[in-house]
Amino acid sequence: MFTKKQLWALLIPLMVEQVLNSLMGTADTMMVSNVGSAAISAVSLVDSINTLILNIFSALATGGAIVCSQYIGKQRSDRANAAGQQLLLSMFAISTIISAVCVVFRAPLLSLIFGKVEADVMSNALIYMMITGLSFPFIGLYNASAALFRSSGNSRLPMTVSMISNCINIAGNVIFIFGMKLGVAGAALSTLISRIFCAVVIMYFQTKSKQTICIKNYFAIRPDFSMIKMILSFGIPTGIENGMFQFGKLAIQSTVSTLGTTAIAAQAMTAVLEGFSSMAGIGIGLGMVTVVGQCIGAGRKYEARRYILKLTWFGEVSIIISCLLLYLACDLITTLGGMEPEAARMCKEMMFAITIYKPIAWAFSFMPGYGMRAAGDVRFSMTVSTITMWSCRVFLTIVLIRFLGWGPMAVWVGMFTDWTVRSICFATRFFTGGWTKKSAV
């Protein structure tokens, strides 16, 4: 269903967008760190909540993209448009409610999650959460519209809008943090403005008649609860899966915090580098949702199977290249990051292990999951991911550190075990064909 040119026109912008978003996020954090330790601590605390919320939005958008992709594959543009409208309406309602809760109840929420923190950290966290909370409806609408463009094969526009938005965020940081000396409020304001820009621009382009999914009048959208239920039936399991990952990360961070400053710094830098090495693969996975969804909608399950294998191989190649480049750059990165020699040494040791093992297990533990979810098989992925996350990654890490006295390498032993078990489960599900018995529409 996709020519080689069409496939790469879909995948390359997605890979570029994921990589640039990661780079811009790192630059954003470095700029905020200049405000002081209380500021960066506050931003770090609030962002752990924000990341969880953004994953919920991403999961809901994925649910909508699955439904729309399959309707497009069926050549039912009318139903794809109807699903797109309900996705935007659902996203707006959910993100507005979450925004209101986070803004109004930010003080008790932060106290409940993080307990007692220093007064200046809490003061900064309250300001940061209030302003970034106001941005939730805008980033939610952007995610929904971006998913609609990607489901129809247009990934270039979301990439362009995202790149410009990131530049606005960085420029806003320079103006508000360094120019106007607004501290965390300045960082939050630049985030809010960039997210407003994202939503307004991409929703404007959604009204153009040439788009596969065209929404002329947003104010005329009325709820269709059967369609909303269909979208949520795919978005909620994906949201639970993403949420479990975030909760698991928090549990691991809590365990690593007992190892001392050097180990914490080494693990933090390694986590950033490992996450960055996955960005191109994640971009390919997002493209797989569109490709496989359209194949399934058109009734071409054999082609869907072939594309899952092909794009999983693309993901494998991207992981090999990314891991090698980051390992070779590890010394330079840790030096520029001002890491102490012992922390830098530990970081490089962990990156060596990741470079060896990640190409073996990562691709099949994640890539087929995108394709199987696009076919409607979302509950299997949610169940397997949740079980392996908590039994392998979290439980094994806690045992190795707290009871056997391991250092931060325990985190990656747990991670490698998780990837291995997941890859076995997903490979079995994929090759036995259980995922082909599901359908979204």
pLDDT digits (tens, 9 = 90+) for 332-381: 888 877 778 898 899 999 999 999 999 999 999 999 999 999 998 999 98
Indicate if 10 and 150 belong to the same structural domain: yes
Dihedral Cα 330, 331, 332, 338, nearest 10 deg: 110
CB 261 within 8 A of CB 277: no
Query: Distance of CA 367 to CAs 231, 282, 314, 381, 422, Å?
Result: 22, 8, 10, 11, 11
What angle, 0 to 180 degrees and rounded to 10, lies between the N-to-C axes of helices 136-151 and 119-134?
50
Query: Distance of CA 373 to CAs 281, 318, 436, Å?
Result: 16, 21, 10
pLDDT, one tens digit per residue, over 69-102 is 999 999 998 999 999 999 999 999 999 999 999 9
User: How sure is the predictor about 244, in pLDDT bands with cuts at 50, 70 and 90?
Assistant: confident
At residue 372, the pLDDT reads 93
Indicate if 345 and 416 belong to the same structural domain: yes
Which amino acid is residue 191, in one-letter code?
T
pLDDT, one tens digit per residue, over 274-287 is 988 999 999 999 99
Burial profile 32-68: b = 16 or more Cβ within 10 angstroms, e = fewer? beebeebbbbbbbbbbebbebbbbbbbbbbbbbbbbb
CB 171 within 8 A of CB 24: no
Secondary structure of residue 299 in the 3-state scheme:
coil
Q: What percent of the chain has pLDDT over 90?
A: 60
Indicate if 177 and 249 belong to the same structural domain: no
User: How sure is the predictor about 39, in pLDDT bands with cuts at 50, 70 and 90?
Assistant: confident
Q: Identify whether 54 is part of a domain.
A: yes
Q: Above 90 in pLDDT, residue 254?
A: no
Q: Identify whether 45 is part of a domain.
A: yes
Indicate if 253 and 353 belong to the same structural domain: yes
**Who wins on pLDDT, 9 or 3?**
9
Mean pLDDT lowest among 95-109, 145-159, 238-252, 328-342: 238-252
CB 169 within 8 A of CB 191: yes
Indicate if 316 and 170 belong to the same structural domain: no
Q: 205, 223, 241 — which closes off a domain?
A: 223
Indicate if 301 and 373 belong to the same structural domain: yes
Indicate if 214 and 260 belong to the same structural domain: no
CB 232: neighbour CB atoms within 10 A?
A: 20
Largest Cα separation within the chain, whole Å, is: 62
Q: Above 80 in pLDDT, residue 249?
A: no
Q: What percent of the chain has pLDDT over 70?
A: 98
Q: Identify whether 228 is part of a domain.
A: no
Q: 198, 223, 248 — which closes off a domain?
A: 223
Indicate if 33 and 77 belong to the same structural domain: yes
Mean pLDDT lowest among 12-16, 70-74, 107-111: 107-111
Q: What is the pTM of this model?
A: 0.88
Which amino acid is residue 248, in one-letter code?
G
At residue 315, the pLDDT reads 96
Indicate if 243 and 170 belong to the same structural domain: no
Q: Identify whether 197 is part of a domain.
A: yes
Q: Identify whether 109 is part of a domain.
A: yes
Q: Identify whether 428 is part of a domain.
A: yes
Q: 223, 244, 271 — which closes off a domain?
A: 223
Upper half-sphere CA count for residue 280 (Cβ side, 13 Å): 17
Indicate if 321 and 429 belong to the same structural domain: yes
Q: Identify whether 89 is part of a domain.
A: yes
Indicate if 214 and 256 belong to the same structural domain: no
Domain span at residue 358?
A: 233-441
Tally the domains of the chain.
Answer: 2
Indicate if 35 and 103 belong to the same structural domain: yes
What span, in angstroms and rounded, lies between the C-alpha atoms of 313 and 324? 17
Helices of type H across 105-153: 106-114, 119-134, 136-151
Query: Distance of CA 167 to CAs 19, 23, 131, 273, 326, Å?
Result: 14, 11, 19, 22, 24
